[in-house]
Structure formats: structure tokens, C-alpha cells
Amino acid sequence: MFYAALSALGRELYFPKGILTQTAEAKRDAHKYNATIGIATSGGQPIYLPALMELLDDMKPGEIFPYAPATGLPELRSLWRDHQLEVNSEMEGKVCSLPVVTSGLTHGLSICADLFCDAGDLLLLPDMMWGNYRMIYGVRRGADIRQYKLFNDGGGMNVEAFRRALMGCADGRKVLAILNYPNNPTGYTPTLEEAREMADCLIEAAESGANIVAVIDDAYFGLVYEEGILKESLFGRLAGSHPRLTAVKLDGATKEDYVWGFRIGFITFSPAADGEAESVHGAIEKKVGGLIRGTISNCSMPAQSLLIKAMKSPGYRQQKEERCRLLKERYEEVKAVVNDSRYAHAFSPHPFNSGYFMCVEVKGPGAEKVRLHLLRDYGVGVISINERDLRIAFSCLEREQVRDLFDILYKAVEDLKYDD
């Protein structure tokens, strides 16, 4: 089943037996001289520029300057797996591959597209989604993208629309679906019930004969601010749930650890393998290793080393929690302010309960017009994501700025109403 889910490129990929394998063997066995490594060393350490090293006083040259393995530093991969198991109880006992290090989640999504998506393959996405999926899956791989409405009119998640879209195209074919919670741009995470129903839809489609690839984009994992909503990754629930369902988890340090420029993400698989998961994991790792080798070669060594140190440091968890609390305070302020009845005829919020963002639907003028007016006449930057909706990142607003921002937004919409 897993083989059938792979793209033509996915089937072709392999990890080359060349310099990398020979270097690995030499690293293990060349006790006297090792002349295989593609870097320059002196005194057993990589040669480095002190001007660079001074910036990273606590780091050893060997943690900064050499190449990292194509699939990432083994210690970091294990630490990340342990961390995932700790925060995702539903992953316990599930057979999953060891995470492979990617250059951020974007790279992980791109690996996933190369592995599973041929031109014309079906990809289900909500109507409110991270725009880059179109580039990665539509433009680069020629996916046939079908969208469903994320929200129903009552203000919850439109699970029925997802079910209809899925069952409407499943009929024994391969279907990819990207599930991103907390969602960008809406900042919505499903309730536990909605999440269970979404997972059930995918299992039902697999049961009906479709080959399902569920791509779980956990970019904003952990940033949930309400009770009764999904706190764990949907990957845990989907892993091993059906022999025709492959689950792929994309996550990383980018947002979870507030290191956007580090470019460190991870990709973890639970392939539709029907009892042969272990051997399939080996094959996937080689394919992914080959793909990384053939595109970016390997991911940033300094960033991986720094992340290992951070994850092992005693303050790591607490510092993460503190930052999450800070975002939660901003979320609560937005929630308190945005529902002010004064604003109701200018804009109304879409459901939000997590992440970095929230969206408002503008009433009257188009969202792009409001965005430009806000920018030019009020010096306020927001994102217009379609003709009606604006995305507001409370992740980069101080709590004290929230009310003022919505007051300005209100004024801007009112200005334009009387403009026409």
C-alpha cells in the first residue's frame, strides 16, 4: 500500500552509496588518518575563522563548522522523538519512523510532495490555508487541489464539507490531505470532537478503498489557549489507523522554539505498511536522505548543535511555557476586544483559539482596499488573504496595542464605506 502511495519520483529515490557511506565507515574505522571528510581540519578540529567563532563562545568548533549528516544529527533526532512522545500521548505504542531533520517545515512539506505527489494527484485543502501549499504542491508538483470550506455558518469547523470533498474524490484513488492545526491564517484548532470526526473521515475514506496520505502540519504545535480543543498532534491518532493510510508529521523548532531563522524542522512517517513498518521505515529514511542529499545536501550544523544544547538545558521547558503564556495573554486581549459590539457592522472575527493569528471578515469594502488604506494612512500592516478576510498576527502585537489596532481597523473600514 505504501509503495502504491508513492509518486514516480518517490519510487525512484534512494540514498546513494558513495562519499557519504564511505565517510561514515571511515569515521567509525579510520583510527590513524581519515582523509575522507569533505572539510578542512587542524588538530582534530575543523579549521574555522575566529571572527565567526567568537560569536558562539560556548560552542566547540566541531559543533559548528562540519557538515551535518544528510538526515540530521542522530542525537537531535532522538531528542526530538522523545519530546514528541512526551507531548503526544496518542503516539505511544505507534510504530513511527525516527524524525529526519529538514531545513524548516517548508522543506519537510516539499520532501513530502516529492515523495507522494505526482501531477494530477488529488490534494484536499481548506479554503483558508497557508498559501505556500499551492507553490509546493500545485506549482512544483502539479497537484489537483480541491478546497473545502473550513468553517460552517454556525462558527465551528465544517467537518461535513471535508467529508463530502474527501468521499467525493476518494473512489479507490490516492488522496492527499494537509491538516494544519493551529491553522494559519485563522488561528483555529478543532475541538476534540471535531478532531476525532476529521480523523474518522480519513479512516472511512481509506476503508472505502482510497489510498490516503494525511500530511499533518504541526508548525504551531503547543500554542493552544483554550480547554476542550485538540492539544496533541492528529498524527498520533492517525498513525497505524488503517493499512491504506500513510500519516506524515511535519513539525519543528521554527515556531515551537522561536528560532525562525534556524531552519530546523522534522519529518516523521507512519506508513501504510500492514505489519512491515520497520522495514518500510528503513526504505523511507534512505529515500528522504537521498532527496536531501540531492537538493540541499544537509541542514544547518550550528542550528542543530544549538538546538541540542537548548533542549538539554534545564530552563528549556520553562522558557517555552513562559513564551506560550505571553502569546496566550495577547490572545485573551484580542478575544476580549474584537467582539466589541461597536465593531460589529465593520468587521467580525472568524473562530480562533490558538496559534499566532486570527482573521476578521470585513463588511463593505474589500479586504485589499482596507489593507492598503491601513498601511498608507494609518501605518498599520495586516494581511489580506482573500477578497473579504484580513489576517492579524497577534504574535507580534504587544497586549497594550491590541485595542488601538482594532479601533484603527474600525476607523479604516468606516472611512472607506463613506468613500465610495
Ligand X SMILES: Cc1ncc(COP(=O)(O)O)c(C=O)c1O
Q: Contact residues for ligand X (CB under 6 A)?
A: 104-106, 130, 180, 184, 217, 219, 252, 254, 260, 265
Q: How far is the CB of 98 from ligand X (least distance, A)?
A: 19
Q: State which residue, 104 or 349, has the beta carbon closest to ligand X.
A: 104
Q: How far is the CB of 165 from ligand X (least distance, A)?
A: 19
Q: State which residue, 20 or 157, has the beta carbon closest to ligand X.
A: 157
Nearest by Cα to 70 from 137, 24, 116: 24
Q: State which residue, 106 or 211, has the beta carbon closest to ligand X.
A: 106
Report the distance separating Cα 237 and Cα 88, nearest Å: 10
Q: How far is the CB of 81 from ligand X (least distance, A)?
A: 18
Q: Own/partner pairs for 59-63, CB < 8 Å, 24+ apart?
A: 59/302, 59/305, 59/306, 59/309, 63/301, 63/302, 63/305
Cell of 83: 519530546
Q: Find the helix packing angle between 402-419 and 316-338, rounded to 10°.
A: 40
HSE-CB at 59 with a 13 A cutoff on CA atoms is: 24
Q: State which residue, 218 or 333, has the beta carbon closest to ligand X.
A: 218
Q: How far is the CB of 31 from ligand X (least distance, A)?
A: 39
Q: State which residue, 230 or 413, has the beta carbon closest to ligand X.
A: 230
Q: State which residue, 20 or 219, has the beta carbon closest to ligand X.
A: 219
The torsion region of residue 43 among left (phi > 0), alpha (psi -120 to 50) and beta comes to left
Contact between 251 and 181 under an 8 Å Cβ cutoff? The reply is: no
Across the strands, what pairs with 177? 124, 214
Q: Which residue is nearest to ligand X (CB)?
A: 104
Q: How far is the CB of 172 from ligand X (least distance, A)?
A: 30
Q: How far is the CB of 129 from ligand X (least distance, A)?
A: 8
Q: How far is the CB of 296 from ligand X (least distance, A)?
A: 13
Strand-by-strand arrangement of the 389-393 sheet: 347-349, 357-362, 389-393, 383-384
Q: State which residue, 18 or 261, has the beta carbon closest to ligand X.
A: 261
